[in-house]
Amino acid sequence: MASSKVSTLCAVFLVFNLTRVSAKIVASFIMPHGGIALDPRHFNTTNSTAKKEAWEIHNACVKVRQQMQQLKPDLVFLSTPHGVADLKNFLFYLNPQGQGHADTDNCQCPPCCYSVSVNLDTKMSADLVKSLGLAKNVSGLSAYGPPEQSSEPFPLKWGEVIPLHFIPGLNNTKAIILSQPSRRYTDDVAMIPELL
Ligand SMILES: *[C@@H]1O[C@H](CO)[C@@H](O)[C@H](O)[C@H]1NC(C)=O
Ligand SMILES: *[C@@H]1O[C@H](CO)[C@@H](O)[C@H](O)[C@H]1NC(C)=O
Ligand SMILES: *[C@@H]1O[C@H](CO)[C@@H](O)[C@H](O)[C@H]1NC(C)=O
Ligand SMILES: *[C@@H]1O[C@H](CO)[C@@H](O)[C@H](O)[C@H]1NC(C)=O
C-alpha cells in the first residue's frame, strides 16, 4: 500500500492467520480487477506495449497466488473500490456466501468464463460493523435475506471476482469483503485517512 491513490483504484487483500483470541496480518497485496490482468490472451489490442504490460500484471497476480499457497491464510480481507457501493459508507457484505462471474468490458463469457463462490465470515464482518459503526462511515449490506442468514449468495462481479480468482483453495478459506463508497470517485484525496 505504498500509494493511497493506488488503494482507491485497486482491490486490496489483507491476509490473516487467526488463533482463538487474536488475528495477525501475515501479508497484504494490491490486486487489479480488470479482464486484461485476468486473461491477457483475450486482450484484443494491436498495441504490443499494452499487451506486454498486461502479461506483466497477470504474471504478478500468479506470483501472489503462489505466495498465498504458502501462507495458507485463515481469512482473506478484500477491500474493493468496484463493489456494490453506498454513497457515504464503507459496506461489509453480510451474506454467508458470495457468488458471481467476471465478465468485463474487454472479455465476456464466452470465451472468458470465470466465476467464483466464496464463503464469507459474516460473524466477524458483523462484529466489525458493530465496533466501527456509522461514526466511522461503516455499515453492512445483506442481499435477499436477513444479515448473516440469507440463503442467497451475495452477487459478485469483476470488482471482487478477479482478485478472488487468484486465491488458491478459495473454498477452504473464509473471506471478508468491504466495498468502498462511491464518494471515492470525487473525494479520493480527502478520503486518504479513512482509506488507510
Ligand atoms: C478485435 O478488435 C478488432 C478491431 O477493433 C475487431 O474488428 C475484432 O472483431 C476484435 N476481435 C475480437 C475477437 O473481439
Ligand atoms: C500503447 O500502450 C502503451 C502502454 O499502455 C501506451 O503508453 C501507449 O500510449 C499506447 N500506444 C498507442 C499508440 O496507443
Ligand atoms: C465520514 O464521511 C464524511 C463525508 O460523507 C466525512 O466528512 C467524514 O470525515 C467521514 N468520517 C470519518 C470518521 O472519516
Ligand atoms: C474446491 O475448489 C476446487 C477448485 O478450485 C474444486 O476442484 C473442489 O472440488 C472444491 N471443493 C469443494 C469441497 O467444493
Read off the pLDDT of residues 33-55 as tens digits, 9 standing for 90 and up: 888 888 898 888 899 999 999 99
Pocket test for ligand 3, best of 89, 137, 139 (most atoms within 8 A of CB): 137
Q: Is 24 in the pocket of ligand 3 (CB under 6 A)?
A: no
Q: State residue 6's pLDDT score.
A: 31
Higher-confidence residue: 102 or 96? 96
- pLDDT surpassing 50 at residue 161: yes
Domain count of the fold of the chain: 1
The candidate with the shortest Cα–Cα distance to 64, out of 10, 138, 119, 117, is 10
- pLDDT surpassing 50 at residue 2: no
Q: State residue 136's pLDDT score.
A: 94
Q: What is the mean pLDDT of residues 123-131?
A: 95
From residue 149, give the alpha-carbon distance in Å to each of 59, 87, 126, 142, 188. Answer: 38, 25, 12, 9, 33
Higher-confidence residue: 55 or 4? 55
The candidate with the shortest Cα–Cα distance to 12, out of 80, 67, 73, 72, is 80
- pLDDT surpassing 50 at residue 8: no
Q: State residue 4's pLDDT score.
A: 28
Alpha carbon distance 81, 172 (integer Å):
25
Alpha carbon distance 15, 27 (integer Å):
5
Question: What are the cell numbers at 173?
Answer: 478459506
| Average pLDDT of the chain, as a whole number | 88
Determine the Cα angle at 134 with ends 4 and 138, to 5°.
40
Q: Is 50 in the pocket of ligand 2 (CB under 6 A)?
A: yes
Q: Is 139 in the pocket of ligand 3 (CB under 6 A)?
A: no
Q: Is 194 in the pocket of ligand 3 (CB under 6 A)?
A: yes
Q: What is the mean pLDDT of residues 160-185?
A: 93
Residue 126 main-chain phi, psi, to 5 deg: -65, -40
Domain that holds residue 117: 3-195
Alpha carbon distance 176, 119 (integer Å):
9
Measured in Å, how far apart are the chain's first and last C-alpha atoms? 9
The candidate with the shortest Cα–Cα distance to 91, out of 24, 160, 17, is 160
3-state secondary structure of 87: coil
- pLDDT surpassing 60 at residue 108: yes
Query: pTM (2 decimals)?
Result: 0.87
Higher-confidence residue: 25 or 85? 85
Q: State residue 23's pLDDT score.
A: 78
* CATH number (domain holding residue 33): 3.40.830.10
* Long-range Cβ contact pairs of 22-31 (< 8 A, separation 24 or more): 23/75, 26/71, 26/73, 27/67, 27/68, 27/71, 27/73, 28/1, 29/64, 29/67, 30/1, 30/6, 31/61, 31/64, 31/162, 31/163, 31/166
For residue 155, list its beta bridge partners.
Answer: 99
Q: Is 88 in the pocket of ligand 3 (CB under 6 A)?
A: yes
Ligand 4 centre to CA of 117 (Å) is 10
- pLDDT surpassing 80 at residue 59: yes
Q: Is 48 in the pocket of ligand 2 (CB under 6 A)?
A: no
pLDDT band at 19 (very low <50, low <70, confident <90, very high): low
Q: Could you say which DSSP state residue 171 is in?
A: G
Pocket test for ligand 2, best of 43, 44, 45, 47 (most atoms within 8 A of CB): 47
